[in-house]
Structure 1
């Protein structure tokens, strides 16, 4: 009998998935809980060539910061 994934905390479900890696239903339940928007950085779209160039520089700076953070 499979456990009720809805009653598990995210930590419990993560531990369960790690010890039952072939339980696709458990993996699906864990992935369904994820909220990528909470981790997203939203940017306004460019309205001109200058905006596009500025955004390109800002993206590059942000990527460099994140890479340095993980080094």
Structure 2
């Protein structure tokens, strides 16, 4: 059996690379995700689309239609 790397001491970039190449390793993924949550300076996105997002998209589409004069 192969010895598993020490994910706690592994640099984040190396851990990311490991997770991407060992997609079935749930322990590595869990540690990587925990690290992303705790490290400062990491952009976090909540995901999903809000009603405000849809309203903004609708306004942009309407502006585009008005500018071009047609629906493509």
Q: Shift of the alpha carbon at 1:34?
A: 1.5
Tell me the residue number matched to 1:23.
25
- Which structure has the larger Rg? 2
1:23-46 alpha-carbon deviations (Å, 9 max, x no partner) = 000000000111378646xxxxxx
Aligned residues: 47
Q: Which runs of 5+ in 1 are unaligned?
A: 41-59, 65-71
In 1, Cα distance between the equivalents of 2:29 and 2:43? 20
Higher helix share goes to which structure? Answer: 1
2:70 maps to none
Query: Quick one: structure 1 residues 18 and 39, their matched pair in 2 at CA, closer, same or farther if it must change by over 3 Å?
Result: closer
Runs of 4+ more than 6 Å apart: none
- Give distance in 2, aligned partners of 1:3 and 1:32: 17
* Matches of 2:43 and 2:26, distance apart in 1: 25
RMSD value, Cα: 3.2
Counterpart of 1:3 in structure 2 is: 5
